[in-house]
Amino acid sequence: MYFDAWLALIPSACIALTLLSDGLTRRDIFLAIGKLNARFAGLRRIRWSFVAPAVILFMIFGLREQLRFILGDVHVARHASWIAITALALSFAVINAANEEFRFRFVLVARGKRALSPSAVLWMTSLNFGLAHWDGHPGGLTGVLTTTLFAMLLCQSLYDTEGGLWAWLMHTAGDVIIFVVVLLRVG
């Protein structure tokens, strides 16, 4: 799982080169910070500078509680290898979130928004991401539903901010906790 995330950098880099050779800019494919304080579409008074950090905190708290439910009252800091677990989880999360955001959202939204409505692109990319997690974590039908909803939020952040930073950070927060669960369950 850890090495797969690193190996996925190869096709992601190839995809990026083809997009750039087609004349798309970094900003077109959301490889830019974007407007971090942009307003959340549909909720014009709320800004992404509030929503994204709130989602990150919610993800960390919620997944931490899931970790306690699955493993009992285990705290990573009490584990003998907590430094290694933390380092592995952070490096995995950063790379995996970057790869998944790029392949499941940045590329598809950049291409899709030229041919489809924003809502069609949002639904298609989000369902694609949700279904890809059928066998992942969270998995099964509830995993597909929650991952699809999360993907919709991430996709909306791309449209609203015109950049990928918030989507990547929110995704990274979830992946850190997920990988900690995997590491502690394995050993």
Provide the residue ranges of all domains of the chain, joining segments of one domain with +. Answer: 44-186
pLDDT top residue among 65 and 6: 6
From the list 92, 160, 97, 91, the residue with the least C-alpha distance to 129 is 97
Summarize pLDDT for 67-118 with one digit per residue, the tens.
Answer: 677 666 666 556 667 788 788 889 999 999 999 999 999 999 999 998 999 9
Residue 31: pLDDT above 70?
Answer: yes
* Distance of alpha carbon 86 from alpha carbon 105, whole angstroms: 27
* Distance of alpha carbon 34 from alpha carbon 79, whole angstroms: 39
